[in-house]
Amino acid sequence: MSALVVRGLAKRYGAVEALAGVDLEVREGELVGLLGPNGAGKSTLVKIACGLVRASRGSAEICGHRAGSYEARRSMGYLAELFRFPGWYSGDEVLELHQKLAGSNGGERERHELLELVGLADARTRRVEEMSKGMQQRLGVAQALVGSPPLLLLDEPTSALDPVGRRTVRVLLAELRSRGVSVLLNSHLLSEIELVCDRVAILLRGRLVAEGSPAQLARSRGVEIETDEGTRLFEGASREDTPRLVAELVAARRKVYGVRVLTSTLEETYLEAVGGETS
């Protein structure tokens, strides 16, 4: 069963069309990255999936249950882009509150494991108001994991993190994938998406404009071959063309010193897809 299925999802805020019929699927144990410029509809999609926003048209299902329903909310963890926990709660108390609300019976052991997982084991009793923004964000990730939900919806989970914090979350995401947890990751950080995601979906003006694995999206830009005559670029050639090109050069009595298959980065693919749009 798919963790998240979105079909023809549309949302209109007055005259603004935030989503214009999006189809998307996150399979079990899959980590899908959601990319797009500001205002592309990424957060709206995530909010509809977790029941914060009502769709104008189309449907969203979480583990087979209508998004926003009791069963759907039991099956997901969510980290909002902009969130705050009461400042007078300690990290442990925040998790305890969410354990009660999520119906988790993991108790102290679960809280300890989650805080350790996000690198906050030492800050268990520290009040939220005494935590840095990055620590609060990592606490937010831990909160989303309460009750071991099969689907995680993470809206910009690393926006306030320093490089070490980002790495902690990346490692955590890899760990979750190995446990079979599905993740929809909404992020502006292309490098991060490229490093951890199985599949990437790019939204532009409420529409899905590209989708596939980072390898599928990274199109071939040619093959570069270094010979005794210098470096030659065979534009349009792919990896599969490489043996033939080398054979032809050798047959033409050229000395071949090196071969490099050139592919576009996710950043280049993204910029091409969104046409340089920023908002």
Angle between the 107-117 and 91-102 helix axes, to the nearest 10 degrees?
Answer: 120
Q: How far apart are the first and last CA of the chain?
A: 35
* CA dist 154 → 12, 25, 46, 129, 245 (Å): 22, 15, 8, 22, 45
Q: Is 171 in the site for another protein (CB under 8 A)?
A: no
Is residue 65 a contact point for another protein (CB under 8 A)?
A: no
Question: Which strands, in side-by-side order, build the sheet including 230-234?
Answer: 230-234, 220-227, 256-263
Which residue, 143 or 269, has its beta carbon nearer to another protein?
143
Going by their DSSP bridges, the two strands 182-186 and 151-155 should be labelled as: parallel
By the rule CB under 8 A, 74 interacts with another protein: yes
Q: Is 127 in the site for another protein (CB under 8 A)?
A: no
- Going by C-alpha positions, the residue among 194, 218, 263 that lies closest to residue 35 is 194
CA angle 220, 192, 180 (to 5 degrees): 100
Contact segment (CB under 8 A) with another protein among 32-40, 80-88, 175-183, 246-254 equals 80-88
Cβ-based nearer residue to another protein, 71 or 235: 71
Q: Is 91 in the site for another protein (CB under 8 A)?
A: no
Tell whether residue 97 is a contact of another protein (CB under 8 A).
yes
Residue 247 φ then ψ, to 5°: -60, -40
Task: Note whether 88 binds another protein by CB under 8 A.
Answer: yes
Could you tell me which residues are beta bridge partners of residue 59? 7
Could you give the 3-state DSSP secondary structure of residue 261? strand
48 vs 237 by CB, closer to another protein: 48
Q: Does 86 bind another protein (CB under 8 A)?
A: yes
82 part of the interface to another protein, by CB under 8 A: yes
102 binds another protein, rule: CB under 8 A: yes
φ, ψ at 6 (rounded to 5°): -120, 125
Closer residue to another protein in complex, CB, 50/193: 50
Pattern 137-166, binding to another protein, x per CB under 8 A? ---x--x-----------------------
Q: Which of 35, 53, 200, 202 binds another protein (CB under 8 A)?
A: 53
Residues that bind another protein (CB under 8 A): 13, 47, 50-54, 70-71, 73-74, 76, 78, 80, 82-86, 88, 97-98, 100-103, 140, 143
